[in-house]
């Protein structure tokens, strides 16, 4: 009798373990599918965020580029006006002003080329480029103002 009860208990235990492990596999499968769906949703959101960030960076670059071109064109106009004023300057100062103006014109052309050649839009490199370019443009603007204050 003890053997029958022991055999029955082992059989029930074995069947119970099998049934429980089958349900666990189904639950695991459901959990894996839910996790997979969550990951897919996160990937979609990340792609949308990336796309938006790239679009915003491109818009920022275009806006900066247009503003910089306007500043460069304004510098070119100022340089042309200074060239006209130099014609009436005395000979001693004329060569000095022509030399300074030539340097400023070259710097303006360099900035124009630097802006046109810039293609990288990664945020780190873009921030560095923007900061350096603004600094150079401000220096050029100050140099042009200082040139006019020298009473051409």
Tens digit of each residue's pLDDT (9 = 90 or more) over 114-127 = 988 888 767 778 88
**pLDDT tens digits along 51-88:** 888 788 788 888 999 999 999 999 899 888 888 887 77
Domain ranges of the chain: 56-152
Are 67 and 137 in contact by the 8 Å Cβ rule? The answer is no
Q: Which of 29-33, 92-96, 111-115, 120-124 reaches the highest mean pLDDT?
A: 111-115
CB 69 within 8 A of CB 134: no
How high is the pLDDT of residue 70?
94
Closest CA to 114 of 88, 78, 140: 140
pTM tops 0.75 = no
C-alpha distances in Å from residue 23, one per residue of 26, 27, 28: 5, 6, 8
What whole-number distance in Å separates Cα of residue 73 and Cα of residue 109? 10
């Amino acid at each position: 009798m003890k053997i029958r009860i022991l055999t029955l208990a082992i059989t029930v235990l074995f069947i119970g373990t099998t049934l429980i492990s089958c349900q666990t596999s189904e639950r695991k499968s459901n959990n894996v599918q839910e996790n997979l769906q969550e990951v897919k949703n996160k990937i979609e959101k990340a792609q949308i965020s990336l796309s938006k960030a790239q679009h915003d960076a491109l818009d920022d670059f275009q806006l900066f580029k247009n503003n910089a071109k306007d500043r460069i064109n304004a510098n070119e106009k100022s340089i042309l006006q200074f060239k006209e004023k130099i014609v009436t300057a005395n000979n001693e100062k004329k060569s000095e002003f022509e030399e300074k103006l030539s340097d400023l014109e070259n710097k303006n052309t360099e900035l124009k080329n630097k802006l046109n050649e810039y293609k990288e839009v990664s945020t780190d490199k873009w921030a560095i480029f923007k900061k350096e370019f603004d600094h150079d443009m401000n220096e050029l603007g100050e140099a042009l103002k200082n040139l006019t204050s020298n009473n051409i």
